Structure 1
Amino acid sequence: MTPIRRYGAATPVVNEKPLRADARRNRARVLEAAEEVFAEQGVGALTEEVARRAGVGIGTVFRHFPTKEALLEAVLVERMRRLADVARERAGGGEPGEAFFGFLELVVGQSATKNAFAGALAGAGVDVESAVAEVGRELWAAVEVLLARAQDAGAVRPDVGAGEVIAVLVGASRAMEYAGAGSRAARVIFDGLRPREATG
């Protein structure tokens, strides 16, 4: 998993016209299809297959995403935005400890695909940190809320900050890549975030 860091203010976008309703629908269909295709076939999958799966012409794909890298970047940002949405939803209710640790497991479970997207973009010369800056701030803020609730409930040790949680997520993601699916490695690592009496 690529580390998420605090970023400065995003560069404003000017003169960007809103998409028409049909264009928005086509863009959403292309993104959904791209995520499915890249998850199934890897980031080397053909853009033509994305168009076929979305039920649109290849010209429509390139109208929204001029390069394959632009499409990969959009899929990566959308995946991270959904994670931020999930974090905010879980922070709104439920048992705080379960919400926090369940979210960590969700992130680690998706990390292999996310890392593949980030690696492909970096290999193409894309500045991945800048590309995910805005959504990275959203995700960071959502993790902070989840963490604070879990700490207030006594489910997470009080001396841990959001930056350390992100570092733990990175380490757990790498551990799962090494250990493979079904491994308890991530949960063992997450136990380091619990109060000592909860782990001993």
Structure 2
Amino acid sequence: MLLPDGNAGRREVLRHEGRPVELFLRTPRDLPAAFERDRRLRRGTMLFIYDQGVPLFDPHGHVLAARERARELLAAGPAPLTLAERERSRYVLTCFMDDLLDTAPNERYEQLATAGSTLREAAHLLTAHHNAWTGIGRWLPRRLLAADPALGAALLSGHRTVAEHADPGPLAAAAEKVLELVGGPLREGYVEPH
């Protein structure tokens, strides 16, 4: 929802007719910064809302202008990872993958938590590799499959195999394929400056 300039942009949750409603309130002045933040986060939440939302009232054409800008940014793709971000993601995914394989099958809570972390980091790295948008929650599988249907499906299927059968092999194998796309696992020699 676009508010007139001078209002405070915010995210607000309320209940309407018994259902929770989440409002993303912006002004024409603060919308470009919100779009840029989405691009840096690589998720595009506001961009997709403006692209796919249905304008109900737009007497001055601000919503349609915002929609056009959102579509331009979506087509351009998310901000690329910096070299440092990519290397850190390689290292983190390698650690999660190693931890997943080292976790005993009877340590189900640890195994499931590590599998979730492995899936999220692999999805982050794979979508970045394809210059595609990522997501969180239910949007993660949707964006992952859109970015790479084959490897995305292997990651999701591997995650399900951990959940249903306590077998980390398929998820670890898919994560390793993601790592191979971006230079391989990263262990020894990784340095993260502080």
Considering only CA atoms, is the larger Rg found in Structure 1 or Structure 2? 2
The structure carrying a bigger helix percent of its residues is 1
State if a TM-score over 0.5 links the two structures.
no
The structure carrying a bigger strand percent of its residues is 2
Q: Which has the higher contact order (CA 8 A, sep 6+)?
A: 1
TM-score (norm 2): 0.31
